Amino acid sequence: MLLLTLIVSLAAIAGMVAYRVGEALGLASLQDSARQRLNLYALTLRHEVEKYEYLPKMLELDQAVVGLLERGTQSSLEVSRHLERLNERAKTRVIYILGRQGHVLATSNWQQADSYLGEDLSYRHYFSEARQGRPGFFFGVGTTRGEAGYYISAPISLAGHVMGVAVIKVDLDRLQDSWTHAQAPVIVSDHYGVAILSSVPAWKFTANQPLTEDVQQYLRETRQYNGLPIAPLDLLTQKVLSRDAQLVSWSGTGTESETEDQVRGLFLAQTLPFGANGWTLTLFLPTDLVYSMARLYAGLAALGILSFFVMLISWYLRRQQQRDRALARLQLERAHAQLERKVEERTRTLEETQAGLIHAGKLAVIGQLSTGLAHELNQPLTALRTLSGNTIRFMERGDLDTVRANLKRINDLVDSMGALTSQLKQFARKSPGHSGLADLNAIIDHALLILEPSIHQHRATIHVQLADDAGRVLCNPNRLEQVIVNLLSNAIDAASTQNAHPVVQISSQRQGQQVAIRVHDNGPGLSEEVRLHLFEPFFTTKDSGTGLGLGLAISMSIIQHCGGRLTADNLPSGGAVFTIVLPFPGAEKCTTH
């Protein structure tokens, strides 16, 4: 918001400065052109005035005039006729001769109704000037016809005495008419400030400053403007530019609409002094163009500043955006790196924890193993000790039959201990060997062959139901066979405990990318206690010598190493069910650990 205010203020200042500069430059050039035009007007006016200046003086040499004034040899009529001819040739308005008292003795307009002949013009300024031996110049309004004109007078002297005065009246209105065509109004003011010539007719005989009482009195006496009312020129000065130039406006109280049309708005009033009479030429030039140009400059400058700032801001925002994006990318990269580091750390921690757990698990197994082992080996060892002691005594007695029988039992005990260690060797071999593709049909056939004596002994019935699409699994075939033999054997054992006709069923079923192999029986099922410790090494409910309690622990280990699961549950109909889940070929590979 502050920035916006600042920019708008800057644009406004730039606009104002440009406006002022434009105005100053425009007015200076307008003044130049006004001066040039005024010089031109002054030249034509001077030419118009000066070309008659010599004429009154020349009349001093005119014999007719001299005859009239000095010798009385010429009659007034003769001289008037002579002046009439002269007036026609010189193209002046009137030429006339005044006597020493200021009476018109002869005049070119003697024939006209408003003839000056006999009139007393001693009150005229031009007469008094010439009467005192000086040329007179005077602009005034005629008393007879009320026609304005420029009067030039000269004394007619003889032997140093002024005998009379020669006067010519020149019409300057022609000049004024030619100025009317100019678009800019021009006026010529006399030394009272009264407009004696004006291109705007309504301005003629108006004063640009109020006339003092003395001046008014004088004008009344000399009848310079023949009693015409001198109205003030309704121009208001707006600004003074220099001694000869100011900005003015028309106050609008004028009467003629034409005038108002011509001078509406602000004008440059440029003045130029003219001649020795104290006359002044004033030219009024419209300033519309100057101000519209100044406004244009102001608009352009403000717009320029605004667009400059808009460009600056958009450039800054774009840079900021790029910087933000780069920063965000950097932060993202950092976060990513941090995350990766954390993942690595966690993975390491997990691996360490896992390693610790595995180690702890191993220790626990070793503990269990040693307890079980001690338990299992203790009995045969005690028996061996007793037997061997007995045998020595029987040998000393010479009872060789008993010695033989004892040695046979010792041999059996050593065999069972050997069987135990061989099973332990299997358990210790963690690696399940090579992974591979196991054909369930072949494995089950082989397992049933191995179990044939037991099946036969317990008169058990085995049902095999293999699904067509679940005949193969990913696992080492020998290991899997070992597992299946163990599960079937347990099932036959369990079923035969309470059935005269034990029934065991083995089936396979495809489950997506896995195969489930189920072994269930019609035995007593699994008690809560048994379920809890089922897969622990050396857990058995069987009599010593029949079971070591390692079967399920080894089976679990094998299945896990094949990337599968082994679970046990009770059937709703009674009996236990053991389920092996293994990857189907084409899914996961059987892994070795």
Residue 241 CB: number of other CB atoms within 10 A?
17
| Separation of alpha carbons 476 and 434, rounded Å | 6
SS3 159: coil
Whichever of 301 and 526 has its CB closer to ligand ADP, that residue is: 526
How far apart are CB 413 and ligand ADP at their closest, in Å? 18
| Separation of alpha carbons 283 and 271, rounded Å | 6
Locate 329 and state its tokens.
């990318």
Q: What is the DSSP letter of 71?
A: I
CA distances from 98 to 44, 67, 373, 451, 527 (A): 30, 14, 174, 177, 167
Whichever of 11 and 576 has its CB closer to ligand ADP, that residue is: 576
Binding letters toward ligand ADP, positions 554-583, x by CB under 6 A: ----------------------x-------
How far apart are CB 457 and ligand ADP at their closest, in Å? 16
How far apart are CB 441 and ligand ADP at their closest, in Å? 23
How far apart are CB 490 and ligand ADP at their closest, in Å? 3
How far apart are CB 405 and ligand ADP at their closest, in Å? 29
- Contacting ligand ADP within 331-360 (CB under 6 A): none
Q: Are 554 and 486 in contact (CB under 8 A)?
A: yes
Burial class (CB in 10 A: 0-12, 13-18, 19+), 50: exposed
Whichever of 57 and 542 has its CB closer to ligand ADP, that residue is: 542
HEC string for 470-521: HCEEECCHHHHHHHHHHHHHHHHHHHHHHCCCCEEEEEEEEECCEEEEEEEE
| Separation of alpha carbons 40 and 478, rounded Å | 132
Whichever of 165 and 548 has its CB closer to ligand ADP, that residue is: 548
- Contacting ligand ADP within 493-552 (CB under 6 A): 494, 521, 523, 526, 530, 534, 539-542, 547-552
Using CB under 6 A, count the residues that bind ligand ADP: 20
How far apart are CB 406 and ligand ADP at their closest, in Å? 28
**Which residue in 480, 470, 400, 396 sits closest to 436, CA to CA?**
480
Whichever of 305 and 526 has its CB closer to ligand ADP, that residue is: 526
462 binds ligand ADP (CB under 6 A): no
HEC string for 262-276: HCCCEEEEEEEEECC
How far apart are CB 411 and ligand ADP at their closest, in Å? 23
Whichever of 389 and 574 has its CB closer to ligand ADP, that residue is: 574
How far apart are CB 520 and ligand ADP at their closest, in Å? 8
Whichever of 142 and 547 has its CB closer to ligand ADP, that residue is: 547
**Which residue in 89, 130, 86, 135 sits closest to 106, CA to CA?**
86
Whichever of 190 and 521 has its CB closer to ligand ADP, that residue is: 521
How far apart are CB 558 and ligand ADP at their closest, in Å? 13
**Which residue in 136, 43, 140, 54 sits closest to 90, CA to CA?**
54
| Separation of alpha carbons 30 and 107, rounded Å | 47
Question: Phi/psi of residue 191, each to 5°?
Answer: -70, -5
Q: Please, what is the angle between helix 400-428 and helix 551-561, to 10°?
A: 30
- Contacting ligand ADP within 474-493 (CB under 6 A): 486, 490-491
- Side chain identity, residue 570: N
| Separation of alpha carbons 198 and 186, rounded Å | 6
Locate 423 and state its tokens.
């099973």
How far apart are CB 577 and ligand ADP at their closest, in Å? 8
Whichever of 402 and 570 has its CB closer to ligand ADP, that residue is: 570
**Which residue in 21, 8, 26 sits closest to 298, CA to CA?**
21
Whichever of 273 and 418 has its CB closer to ligand ADP, that residue is: 418
Whichever of 277 and 497 has its CB closer to ligand ADP, that residue is: 497
Residues in CB range of 552: below 8 A, 6 or more apart: 486, 490, 534, 535, 539, 566, 568
- Side chain identity, residue 518: R
How far apart are CB 371 and ligand ADP at their closest, in Å? 16
Whichever of 149 and 551 has its CB closer to ligand ADP, that residue is: 551
- Residue whose pair of structure tokens reads 């050593």 in the numeric block: 414
Whichever of 185 and 551 has its CB closer to ligand ADP, that residue is: 551
Question: Phi/psi of residue 298, each to 5°?
Answer: -60, -45
Binding residues (CB under 6 A) for ligand ADP: these are 486, 490-491, 494, 521, 523, 526, 530, 534, 539-542, 547-552, 576
